[in-house]
Structure 1
Amino acid sequence: MKRATAPTAVLFDLDGTLLDTAPDLGAALNTVLQAEQRPLVSAAEYTPLASHGSAGLLRYAYGDEFERRRDELRDAFLTAYARNIAANTQLFDGVTQLLLQLHAQDIAVAIVTNKPHALTTQLIPHYPELAAIKVIISGDTLTVAKPDPAPLLHAAQLLGVPKHQCWYVGDAQRDIEAGRRADMFTVLARYGYISAQDEPQNWGADAHIDHPAELTSLWLK
């Protein structure tokens, strides 16, 4: 891992990085499947796919059929998910303490997620620690989403922080790619949703953490 100096701002992915949303995403998938009397998907199967959102989960469950029914299935999934968006979702252990540490060190914080704005704004108020974050960029805030770097650069601009003074923390390949393309220091959250088929060692992250509490130690060593 690269030697790091303290950032002026830390930008975070949401699902699989700050929030463990997999239980409610998986429940939404199974609601769609159950309505069609199809076999349900286990937590062991859907959890590693949760960072890929509705498309990744539905593609796993429906295979080639997903492409033919994309809009129909996505609408059914999002309806089910919105109905119970925070039933079992929780902050990952250590996130609250990490955010308090960043605040104490006067390090700005933002969220950059590919989650649609409507769902992001519905979900975040359930978690006061996240509701206090003023800069939140969703997947449809701009005309492009991660792995395009534009959402990260937009967040940095809103924070008033130069991009090279920002870190981006996420658990998916597109997170690391977006951060690298934005010329930010990238941190892979290995505690997030990474499947056995992924090859995170090839994603090019500058550093990695196995628990949120490890983040500040990257510049406090």
Structure 2
Amino acid sequence: MLKPTAILFDLDGTLLDTAPDLGAALNTVLRSEQRAEVAAEAYTPLASHGSTGLLRHAYGKEFDTRRDELREAFLAAYAKDIMVNTRLYQGVNELIKALAERDIAVGIVTNKPLALTRQLLPHFPDLSALKAVVCGDTLQVAKPRPEPLLHAAELLGVQPHQCWYVGDAQRDIEAGLAAKMFTVLARYGYLTKEEQTADWGADAHIEQPLALLDLLEQK
């Protein structure tokens, strides 16, 4: 694998630590029904799975019969307080600048809905300035399908084999491999203890964002 012309990133759990505000939205919904809240150590590893993963954890089988109602309540609560405790992971700004200095294009491919992504990114100028941002509803399909990654590569004017994809969830690695991209697992993101990450087939892994630069130097 040659050095990339472009690097695409997942958003939640890879560039941004959004778990505190996602977890707060979940607990807002639970409080509205006089249910017990979910602790941070329980909801944080599930944050990459979005509203579905968080609500299924809290409601179990009941979620399947109340999916639309609960998801609407969750998204409303999240949109209301989307930037209370969300932060960039340490080193992300430096990483984006370093990639620009190396003439490596950067894009985002997330399953987060477009409306929420547009609400969130302006708080982070380095991310808001990126030329390719593909969301969960940009196309008719989302990760783990490869089409969103291929669309981002097209927006950046590069071939898929010239791209790396960095993400913290199994669907990220599956999508990257299906798109014929070099895949990097962000192990600092939202991973549960039960997930067998070694079985996902990622080409490489990093323990913190700036470690990606070390990986680039090896290529």
State the partner residue of 2:56: 59
Give the 5 Å matches for 1:1-221.
4-221=1-218
CA distance in 1, matches of 2:33, 2:216: 51
Cα RMSD of the aligned pairs, angstroms, is 0.6
What residue identity is the alignment partner of 2:59? Y
Q: Contact between 2:29 and 2:74, CA under 8 Å: does it hold in 1?
A: yes
Q: Contact between 2:6 and 2:105, CA under 8 Å: does it hold in 1?
A: yes
CA distance in 1, matches of 2:21, 2:92: 19
TM-score where L is the length of structure 2:
0.99
How much does 1:134 deviate? 1.6
Residue-by-residue CA offset, 1:118-172 (whole Å, 9 max, x unaligned): 0010011111111111210000000000000000000001111010000000000
TM-score where L is the length of structure 1:
0.98
CA distance in 1, matches of 2:141, 2:131: 21
CA distance in 2, matches of 1:155, 1:183: 13
The number of residues matched between the two structures is 218
What residue identity is the alignment partner of 2:113? P
Moved over 3 A (4+): none
CA distance in 2, matches of 1:33, 1:197: 25
CA distance in 2, matches of 1:184, 1:203: 14
What residue identity is the alignment partner of 2:85? N
What residue identity is the alignment partner of 2:33? E
Q: Contact between 1:116 and 1:140, CA under 8 Å: does it hold in 2?
A: yes
CA distance in 1, matches of 2:192, 2:89: 18
Unpaired runs of at least 5, structure 2: none
Residue-by-residue CA offset, 1:157-205 (whole Å, 9 max, x unaligned): 1111010000000000000000000000000000000001111111000
Percent identical residues = 67
Q: Contact between 2:131 and 2:156, CA under 8 Å: does it hold in 1?
A: no
Q: Contact between 1:149 and 1:179, CA under 8 Å: does it hold in 2?
A: yes
